[in-house]
Amino acid sequence: MSQAPLGIDHPLVTVRDHPATLENYRRMGFSPSPVSYHPWGTVTSLLMFADNFIEIIGVDDATKFGPKNPENGALGDFCFGRFLGDFLDREEGISLVALHSGDARADAAAVVARGLQNRGFIDFRRKMTLPDGTPDEAVVSLALLIDAALPEASHFICHQHRPELIWVPEWQQHDNGARGITSITYLAESPQALAPRLAGLYGEAALQHGADLLRVDSGCGEFRVVDAAGAARLFPGTAVPPFDTSRPHGIAVSVAIRSLDEQAARLRDAGIEFARAAAGEAGDSLLVGAGDSGNIILEFTE
């Protein structure tokens, strides 16, 4: 994989109990980055890999939602913190997916030309601490590809102006040998419901259509869209995360690790329930259910 333009940068696994969820991921062999805070009232920690990462995010201080200026994550009628807070009022799980960019404005122009809407740009700074304890400040530009009809299946473009503060080598060393996100899976009543959106991101020719599965290679991991039958086929023995909506929404993140046998032993020792799926599309996999992973299916593959 590589950090391709509009490749999967990071899903936002959005949770109510941020410390407890981070501890679960530690028990699964991940090494989260130090906890830090956004200016719009959310708390975050990152599970960093070479080319992408998982962001575990929650609400720390809802009084910081707004006011309406970009430095506080607000733009017009959109407030980033409030968007996540409203999501948590309904659900936990994947609220948004960030797409990698080295130039948020150029990449946003490209997807707008393919028919998607950009609600605008947010430029902000986030205080953080490096592994040696040095304080520093990440500088980020976002382009908001938020679709009001698909709030749980929307995206934003993310340009890290100081990527060396995010892709810190020490944060990429995980006891389970995790190497990167290989796919994110959405559930929809019909997989074709997300075809226009994915075509707007990657072009119609990039879409691969199947009977119960729509897929597209982002250049840094794959997006998959399944119906209920497709979810049962991809994730046997594992319940679909509960969601109080029939709209398309994210249900799974797949991560490549060093060894399934080693990870199975780690999960057993940690008391984390999992299913082992044999001979799937990527070979065998381990499936951790929604209760331990922030209301997603966390799939481990070799």
Q: Which one, of 60, 103, 108, lies nearest residue 85 by Cα?
A: 60
Per DSSP, the residues of 39-91 read TTSEEEEEEE-SS-EEEEEEES-GGGS--SSGGGTEETTEEHHHHHHHHHHH-
Q: Alpha-carbon distance 216 to 203, whole Å?
A: 10
Predicted confidence (pLDDT) per residue in 135-176, tens digit: 989 899 999 999 999 999 999 999 999 999 899 999 999 999
Q: Alpha helix locations (H) across the chain? A: 18-27, 80-90, 104-113, 195-202, 228-234, 260-270, 290-293
Domains 8-172 and 180-301 share a fold: yes
Structure token pair of residue 253: 């993140």
Residue 280: its pLDDT value, please?
58
CATH superfamily of 8-172: 2,3-Dihydroxybiphenyl 1,2-Dioxygenase, domain 1 (3.10.180.10)
Report whether pLDDT(287) > 90. yes
For residues 220-246, average pLDDT: 95
Which of the four pLDDT bands, split at 50, 70 and 90, describes residue 214?
very high
Which of the four pLDDT bands, split at 50, 70 and 90, describes residue 282?
low
Report whether pLDDT(281) > 80. no
Report whether pLDDT(66) > 80. no
Residue matched to tokens 């601490």: 129
Structure token pair of residue 23: 């501890």
Per DSSP, the residues of 196-256 read HHHHHHH-GGG-EE-SSEEEEE-SSSEEEEE-HHHHHHHSTT-PPPP-S-SS-EEEEEEEE
In one-letter notation, the amino acid at residue 68 is: K
Report whether pLDDT(72) > 90. no
Angle at 145 between CA 144 and CA 146, to 5 degrees: 90
Residue matched to tokens 């200016």: 39
Least-confidence region, from 39-43, 150-154, 263-267 = 39-43
How many CB atoms are closer than 10 A to CB 154?
20
As a whole number of Å, the CA-based R_g of the chain is 18
For residues 235-262, average pLDDT: 96
Residue 74: its pLDDT value, please?
58
- Taking phi over 0 as left and psi of -120 to 50 as alpha, with beta for the rest, 73 belongs to left
In one-letter notation, the amino acid at residue 184 is: I
Report whether pLDDT(126) > 90. no
Residue 220: its pLDDT value, please?
97
pTM here is 0.94
Which of the four pLDDT bands, split at 50, 70 and 90, describes residue 218?
very high
Longest dimension (CA), the chain: 52
Report whether pLDDT(122) > 80. yes
What number of H helices and E strands is found in the chain?
Answer: 7, 18
Residue 131: its pLDDT value, please?
84
Structure token pair of residue 258: 């060093």
Predicted confidence (pLDDT) per residue in 75-98, tens digit: 667 788 999 999 999 999 999 999
Q: Is the Cα dihedral 102, 104, 105, 107 positive or negative?
A: positive
Residue 132: its pLDDT value, please?
86
Q: Alpha-carbon distance 73 to 60, whole Å?
A: 14
Average pLDDT over all residues of the chain: 93
What does the domain layout of the chain look like in residue ranges?
8-172, 180-301
What CATH number has the domain spanning 180-301? 3.10.180.10
Residue 238: its pLDDT value, please?
96
Residue 13: its pLDDT value, please?
98
Report whether pLDDT(212) > 80. yes
